[in-house]
Amino acid sequence: MTGERTFQKFKRLIPKKAFLLWLDSLRKDYKLIGPVKTGNHAVFKEVDSSEELFMEYGTTMLSPGKLFLYKPNEELFRFAMSGKITIDEIAPIAEKQIIIGVHPCDVNAILYLDRTFLGTFRDPHYEARRKNTLIISLNCTRVSENCFCSSVGAGPFLHAASGYDMLLTDFESEYLVEIKSRKAEELFGLEGRSAGRDEMRLKAEKEKSMKSKFKKAINVSGLDNIFAENMDHPIWQQTAEDKCLSCANCVMVCPTCFCYDLRDEMSMDLKTVTRYRCFDACQDIMFAEVHGGNFRQRRAARLRQFVTHKLDQTNQYGVFGTVGCGRCITWCPTGIDLTEITREIQKFKS
Amino acid sequence: MKIDINYIARVEGESSVKLEIEGGKLKELKLNIWEPPRFFEGFLVGRKFDEVPDIVARICGICPVSHMTTAIRAIENAFGLTPSPEVKRIRKILSLSQILSSHLAHLYVLALPDYFRLNSIVEMLPHFEKEIKRFLRLKEAANSITALFGGRALHPVSMVVGGFTKVPSKTDIEKAVKELESLHGDALETLKMVSELKYPALENHAEFVALKGEGEYAINEGAVSSTKGLNIKEHEYAFYFIEDEVPYSNAKRTIIKDRGSLMAGALSRINLGFDNLLPDAKKASEDIGFKGGSNPFLNNLAQAVEIVHALQECAILLRGLSLKDYFADFKVREGAGSALTEAPRGMLYHHYEMDRRGIITKANIVTPTAHNFLNLEESLKKLVTENIDKPEDELILTCEMLVRAYDPCFSCSVH
Amino acid sequence: MKNPLKPIKAIIKGIRPEAEGVKTYTLSTEFPFVAEPGQFNMIGYPGVGEAPISLSAIMQVGDSTLRDGSFKHTIKSVGRVTDFLKDFKKGDELFFRGPYGRGWPVKKAEKKDVLIVAGGVGLAPLRPVIQIVLNQRESFGDVSLIYGARNEKNMLFMNEFKIWEKDISLYITVDEVSDVSKSPHPPFTKGGQGGITKEWSGGINVGLVTDLLDRVKIQPERTIAFVCGPEIMMRFVCRGLIMHGMLQSSLYVSLERRMKCGIAQCGHCQHSGLFVCKDGPVFSYKEVRGLPDGAL
Amino acid sequence: MNKLRLGFFKYSCCMGCSYFFAYVHKHVPEVLASFDFVFIKLLSSKGTPEGPFDIALVEGAITEAWQVDELKMIREQSKKLFAIGSCAVIGGIPAIKATTPELDVEKRVYKNLSSIHSIKPHAVDAYVKVDGYIRGCPPAERDLYEALTSVLTGRKPDFPQYSICIECKLKGNICVLIADNMPCMGPVTNAGCGALCPSMNRACYSCFGPMKQANSPALAKKFKAMGISRDDIIRKFTEFGADTIEFRKAVEMVYED
Ligand SMILES: Cc1cc2nc3c(=O)[nH]c(=O)nc-3n(C[C@H](O)[C@H](O)[C@H](O)COP(=O)(O)OP(=O)(O)OC[C@H]3O[C@@H](n4cnc5c(N)ncnc54)[C@H](O)[C@@H]3O)c2cc1C
Ligand code: SF4
Ligand code: SF4
Ligand code: SF4
């Protein structure tokens, strides 16, 4: 992220056991966060030992980036209101943490969040946590029902050059460990076997076989201006009225949705006000309301905002807003599927 | 002379007392419970069994747990489902925590101001800071026990037919136990405070009725027993108790067949179950020379003793939890079921009939205040007769104090 | 590292009732505040929140309309924050952060004719432009202001029209004629166009802003237009100007969207991938014409 | 600072809101320092309902004609009037009565109806203008404080108007609707409780009532697709929302279906 001297991007094969032991050895300096099985699902949370990790997970409901880097709820300022008002700026708390097992889509989503929070205006809380977080990505071994990352280039294997620290690929009893940052290079002491051309070929084969397993896809090359040209396509209105609940689950589970609200809360004695930030969603009817009007009064307009922000509107950051994790499809109560909406519109065009 | 006490404050719900004195004698006295009816028993018909606990919780904002527990037990009786001992334990914890909250609120906020000739706890604040802080401590602890299991202190959400949807973690329970144990002294102080109040004298010849358990202070189940020898099972209730409409009141009133009025509540429970109190509560009670009695004003004292008991029993039950088997599956079937529990204000009865899909076809709910209605009216008559020479203000206050001593819940009584 | 969301304290130096429900607040803070015309601040108060408000007078780099570094906001009370402000008094504290956004491209307008079209409170963000024009009159060609409001009770800066008209042509219109005697700006005398005349010479017309476009002599190739008002009004103005032969790229509009942060993070102001707070609020008409969820 | 005059009025309900208010939990001293309890029957004898009030809180549904008259009088006497609790905000549980012929319902309870004077149950805003809604059953603590502090500081109160789902996700609960196939009302229910039911492993039953412009027919369709019976779906939308336009839409759709 910041100007780093060049480091050695080495690749090694490490027995899984040894790797996890190494992880545990870091726990004295780092909080360890990773996928943990709860019931039929996996969630990212802090663990006391690598034994709790469930590295074979499919996908989680909430992404690690929007739990441990960009926080759902964050206190920013405290105002003391008696007499002359004073502002207390809450200092960023940035414990050192390792997030292990981050799938490629979620790493890409973090890189997307970087564009919002480390742009012209940098958010000190996000930045501090980002600096203190070691991201160990894990290439996928399973394609979940709604994944379409391969269509948008965000998975199933990670190809981003930087912005994370290590990349693991499951090699049965071993991990292929690729070092991607100086921090990781310094921390990683295991020798293992050095990975050569054969291993990289094997990795490429694995990726290929993974790619063949996708059930969901989207044809991005055919997107062009298609959304802008079909603003009033009946699919929007129809899907919105028939199915969309404006519940905002799609936005809440989306790993790239960055919108937030700033809220003030006053203590009952009126002496302190806390200003905090928390996730907001464009599906909320108040989201775009101003005096005299609401730019997205219609449910269809709100639904369209979500879908087009993910698949169109690339003028914003120069990349797609979606990483193809499929979460918004999985967790939408009525199963609204942005890939289907897109297909419907593409059908219309051709 | 006609006296209309229209504004009975510091009780739950709406009521008034009208009385007429002629020639130094009480001519007529009516307790009018004009709380607007909401027709729960009417609109429950057609609803499904699984909604019933959530709906009946809204009969009362103070004792939702009692309504939920009673309804759930009635429905389980209809389904032939016997809950696990763990479920029973958790239900009792919730009931006890609610009894604690309710009694604390009644004693400190509703009843206490009268004894100092003040209008409200707000007016007490400057003079009774220590007491009010104690009250808030106890109340907070009681609420947090209900919330720990129920999700929130009012209208808890985890209580369902079959048991509970979720239980708290061991660590949270551990913390709660410690908190409760640290408040034992506060409970004893409360009892001491309440025992020092000056209660008006009044004899009451009512039949005291309460559930009675085997070796435990009965709350959620037991035999219906009375100081006049009643001893029946809960499903026999309808044969012995009769509910009737009163032309001047929206609440119905209940009597024991062929015998007349009854009194339910903390005093009844103490009168019938004194021996089942935990040793500490029993001893504390004996130390102040209280083992029950017939003066309805002593209900205050009985509540204070129950506070000592409930706080301790909650902690004991919490320690004994396994946090397993907190839900049992069941089969919906056609049938009828009824249940009785001890709500903070006394015996509460729910009865449901259901079709094979579990749709309610008939509902009947008899609340503690309906049980006490006639007795309260009779006691008021007696009180007025015995205090007929008192100045009007004083007489009105004494009447109000008696009404409050019953800790009536008029919202419940009408429902 | 300072949090860009951290508000800065300002003191209210003066308050002027401007029109019905609208007041102008002169603010000053510890440092001389510098901004560009068309930029805005997030104005707020703890416990109430923040709202984006344009600067209606500023000290600009190189030039100073307000030499002491104070700045002004002209605010109409319509909601949580703006209603709260209406009871503030001189000397009260209030908070702001900014300036934010891309303002009017005034440099581009130098040596050209300038057409300023405003509706309602939309004149506030354009006032700094007028100030520059007045200060450096020789740098611009013909300058005209077309300004419309619902009625004259809703009209901003009327007390300044007399000064403005010395250097720029004013075309003022109201949608409806209201009771003159209740106007905050007496004296009015009856007569003249639309039934009303006033201190300045041009008169008040009755009708829509768009009706006045025909009255201004527009030389399309050497004119640049700055438009601010309700979005639907801007739509008709821009279309009208295009009919007059103007290029989409020489029309500029200022958009209003809900904003929480002002710094391109909170997402509320997104307009088809544009952040109105950062990429705007001033856009060339070409950039925002026909975008979904907008009226242009 | 002068204390503000507060009135708390109860109509047809469980009085849980008064009870809840009486212990504004950790804030008793602060509330007492800022407000004069001019009228609150649960707490104080000798109050006067005559006003004037700086803030009036009204709990309970309106089910009898005298309540309407009194309510209108209170409105006139009060600078700000808030509906508190689901009964007052949306008609709540008492409004279930109106889902079937009301006389039948009344007859099931009383043999002699001559002294019963009930009218169709409605929320408070059916009769008077309301300045804000403190939703929930029991009401959301945060919203209650927001109402009180807003009046104290003279700002418009800010109440959440989005779905329970948002709160549920902020909490990180695994969605019970999707993961466990429970008929959760969260997607159409107004936030405020912190997604309590899903956090306790059960489906939301909408005790906070519908959120603004809730698309309840779409959720009803989803329930149907889950195999839930028509009657059960109707019951879902009439437990707390019987008197609301938003939920009536779902009921009508199911009937027409
Ligand atoms: C770049 C920019 C510059 C601006 N410059 C100016 C300026 O110079 N002067 C000026 O006066 N304005 C200006 N505005 C407009 C101003 O920002 C808005 O009027 C302001 O945001 C209102 O904020 P508020 O908190 O007072 O209103 P809000 O409370 O946010 O209300 C805004 C609207 O939403 C409605 N609303 C809000 N909350 C609710 C709710 N809970 N339920 C129902 N309705 C609700 C209100 O009724 C109102 O119509 C500008 C806006 C932008 C984007
Ligand atoms: S999750 Fe589905 S139903 Fe809910 S707002 Fe998103 S698209 Fe609509
Ligand atoms: S605009 Fe909507 S889709 Fe885009 S980031 Fe914000 S909440 Fe997510
Ligand atoms: S989840 Fe729904 S039913 Fe449960 S408390 Fe919240 S609003 Fe009420």
Q: Which positions in chain D have a beta carbon within 8 angstroms of at least one beta carbon in chain A?
A: 24, 27, 30-31, 33-34, 142, 145-146, 148-149, 152-153, 158, 161-163, 165-166, 169-170, 172, 174-175, 177-179, 184, 186-188, 211-215, 218-219, 221-222
Q: Ligand 4 centroid to D139 CA: how many Å?
A: 11
Whether C198 shows a pLDDT value over 60: the answer reads: no
C5 is written with which tokens?
């969301």
Please measure the distance between the N-terminal and C-terminal CA atoms of chain C and give it in whole angstroms.
40
- Say yes or no: CB of residue A334 within 6 Å of ligand 2: yes
D130: left (phi over 0), alpha (psi -120 to 50) or beta: beta
Whether D233 shows a pLDDT value over 60: the answer reads: yes
Q: Which residue of A237, A266, A275, A314 to mutate against C (max C Cβ within 10 Å)? A: A275
Q: From B414, B366, B374, B407, select the one nearest B67 (Cα to Cα).
A: B366
- Say yes or no: CB of residue C182 within 6 Å of ligand 1: no
Distance between CA atoms of residues D210 and D188, nearest Å: 6
Q: What is the pLDDT of residues C8-59, one digit of tens each?
A: 999 999 999 999 999 999 999 998 888 999 999 999 999 999 999 999 998 7
State the SS3 of D152-206.
Answer: HHCCCCCCCCCEHHHHHHHHCCCCHHHHCCCCCCHHHEECCCCCHHHHCCCCCCC
> With the C-alpha atoms ordered B322, B326, B331, B334, is the resulting torsion angle positive or negative?
positive
- Which CA distances in Å does B209 have to A137, B237, B306, B389? 69, 12, 16, 33
Q: From D190, D154, D192, D186, select the one nearest D173 (Cα to Cα).
A: D186
Provide the pLDDT for residue D25. 64
Please measure the distance between the N-terminal and C-terminal CA atoms of chain A and give it in whole angstroms.
43
Closest residue in A to D218 (Cα–Cα): A243
Provide the pLDDT for residue A231. 87
B250 is written with which tokens?
């929206």
C-chain residues within 8 Å CB-CB of A287? 258, 268
Q: Ligand 2 centroid to A309 CA: how many Å?
A: 14
Which architecture, in CATH terms, is C8-100?
Beta Barrel (2.40)
Distance between CA atoms of residues D231 and D251, nearest Å: 10
Distance between CA atoms of residues A223 and A219, nearest Å: 7
DSSP H helices, chain D, are 16-22, 28-34, 65-77, 86-90, 102-109, 141-153, 164-171, 176-179, 196-199, 216-225, 230-238, 245-256
- Say yes or no: CB of residue D98 within 6 Å of ligand 4: no
C-chain residues within 8 Å CB-CB of A313? 270, 272-273
Per the confidence metrics, is the pTM higher than 0.95?
no
- Quick check: D200 and B157 CB within 8 A? yes
C89 is written with which tokens?
């008094």
Q: From B249, B225, B313, select the one nearest B36 (Cα to Cα).
A: B249
B-chain residues within 8 Å CB-CB of D141? none
Distance between CA atoms of residues B125 and A25, nearest Å: 57
Exposure string of D236-255, with b = 16+ CB inside 10 Å and e = fewer, is bbbbbbbbbebbbbbbebbe
Ranges in chain D annotated CATH 3.40.50.700: 4-153
- Say yes or no: CB of residue A236 within 6 Å of ligand 3: no
Provide the pLDDT for residue A140. 95
Q: What is the ipTM of this complex?
A: 0.92
pLDDT, average across residues D173-191: 96
DSSP H helices, B234-388, are 237-240, 266-273, 279-287, 299-319, 368-386
Of B7, B36, B245, the CB nearest to D63: B36
Please provide the size of chain C in residues.
296
Of A76, A87, A290, the CB nearest to C258: A290
Query: Is the N-terminal amide bond of C46 cis, ω within 30° of 0?
Result: no
- Which range among A19-23, D26-30, D144-148, D211-215 shows the weakest confidence by mean pLDDT? D26-30
- Quick check: B154 and D105 CB within 8 A? no
- Which range among C73-82, C179-188, D153-162 shows the weakest confidence by mean pLDDT? C179-188
- Main-chain phi, psi angles of A202, to 5 degrees: -60, -45
- Say yes or no: CB of residue D207 within 6 Å of ligand 4: yes
What class is the D4-153 domain?
alpha beta
For Cα atoms B15, B20, B21, give the angle at the middle one, nearest 5 degrees: 140
- Which CA distances in Å does B37 have to A190, B414, D124, D159, D166? 76, 5, 17, 31, 37
Q: From D223, D245, D225, D226, select the one nearest D235 (Cα to Cα).
A: D223
Distance between CA atoms of residues C11 and A193, nearest Å: 67
Which ligand is in closest contact with the Cα of A286?
1
D70-74: Cβ within 8 A, 24+ apart: D70/D9, D71/D9, D71/D11, D71/D124, D71/D127, D71/D128, D72/D127, D72/D128, D74/D7, D74/D9, D74/D49, D74/D128
Distance between CA atoms of residues B300 and C217, nearest Å: 91
Q: In this structure, what DSSP letter does residue A50 have?
A: G
In the sheet that C40-45 helps form, which strands lie side by side, from edge to edge? C49-54, C40-45, C93-100, C8-19, C22-28, C71-76
Structural domain spans, chain A = 11-211, 223-349
C235 is written with which tokens?
């739509």
Beta bridge partners of A293: A290
Helix, strand, coil percentages in chain B from 3-state DSSP, rounded to 5 = 50, 20, 35
| Residue whose pair of structure tokens reads 């004698």 in the numeric block | B25
Provide the pLDDT for residue C65. 54
Provide the pLDDT for residue C187. 35
Q: From C146, C132, C147, C160, select the one nearest C37 (Cα to Cα).
A: C132
Query: Is the N-terminal amide bond of C99 cis, ω within 30° of 0?
Result: yes
Distance between CA atoms of residues B257 and A18, nearest Å: 80
User: Which amino acid, one-letter code, is at B280?
Assistant: D
Closest residue in C to D156 (Cα–Cα): C80
User: Strands C143-149, C169-174: parallel, antiparallel or unpaired by DSSP?
Assistant: parallel
- Do residues B39 and B149 lie in contact, with contact meaning Cβ atoms separated by under 8 Å? no
Whether chains A and B touch (3+ CB pairs under 8 A) is answered by no
Provide the pLDDT for residue C183. 43
Distance between CA atoms of residues A113 and A127, nearest Å: 11
CA count, 13 A, side-chain hemisphere, C130: 28
- Please report which confidence band the pLDDT of residue C179 belongs to, taking 50, 70 and 90 as the band edges: low
Q: Ligand 4 centroid to D85 CA: how many Å?
A: 13
Whether C66 shows a pLDDT value over 60: the answer reads: no
- Main-chain phi, psi angles of C159, to 5 degrees: -65, -15
Highest-scoring range by mean pLDDT, C139-143, C217-221, C252-256, D22-26: C252-256
Q: Which chains touch C (3 or more CB pairs under 8 A)?
A: A, D
For ligand 1, mutation pick of C15, C18, C23, C54 (most atoms within 8 Å of CB) = C54
Q: From B225, B223, B219, select the one nearest B207 (Cα to Cα).
A: B225
Q: What is the pLDDT of residues A60-78, one digit of tens each?
A: 999 999 999 999 999 999 9
Distance between CA atoms of residues B135 and B230, nearest Å: 37
- Main-chain phi, psi angles of A114, to 5 degrees: -55, -35
> With the C-alpha atoms ordered B201, B207, B210, B215, is the resulting torsion angle positive or negative?
positive
Q: What is the nearest CA distance from B132 to chain D, expressed in angstroms?
A: 10
Please provide the size of chain D in residues.
257
Provide the pLDDT for residue B303. 97
Distance between CA atoms of residues A112 and A93, nearest Å: 22
- Which range among A3-7, B109-113, B182-186, B212-216 shows the weakest confidence by mean pLDDT? A3-7
Q: What is the pLDDT of residues B206-256, one digit of tens each?
A: 899 999 998 899 999 999 999 999 999 999 999 999 998 988 889 998 999
What is chain B's mean pLDDT, rounded?
Answer: 94
Beta bridge partners of B18: B4, B30
- Say yes or no: CB of residue C253 within 6 Å of ligand 1: no
Helices (H) and strands (E) in chain A, counts: 13, 14
pLDDT, average across residues D164-192: 96
Exposure string of D77-111, with b = 16+ CB inside 10 Å and e = fewer, is bbebbbbbbbbbbbbbbbbbbbbeebeebbebbbe
- Quick check: D207 and B54 CB within 8 A? yes
Contacts of residue C160, defined as CB under 8 A and 6 or more positions apart, other chains included, come to none
Q: What is the pLDDT of residues B52-79, one digit of tens each?
A: 999 999 999 999 999 999 999 999 999 9
Distance between CA atoms of residues C228 and C255, nearest Å: 8
B189 is written with which tokens?
């102080």
In the sheet that B335-343 helps form, which strands lie side by side, from edge to edge? B335-343, B346-354, B360-366
Distance between CA atoms of residues C241 and C255, nearest Å: 18
User: Strands C169-174, C204-206: parallel, antiparallel or unpaired by DSSP?
Assistant: parallel
- Quick check: C84 and D154 CB within 8 A? yes
- Quick check: A81 and C3 CB within 8 A? no
- Which range among B233-237, B409-413, C164-168, D26-30 shows the weakest confidence by mean pLDDT? D26-30
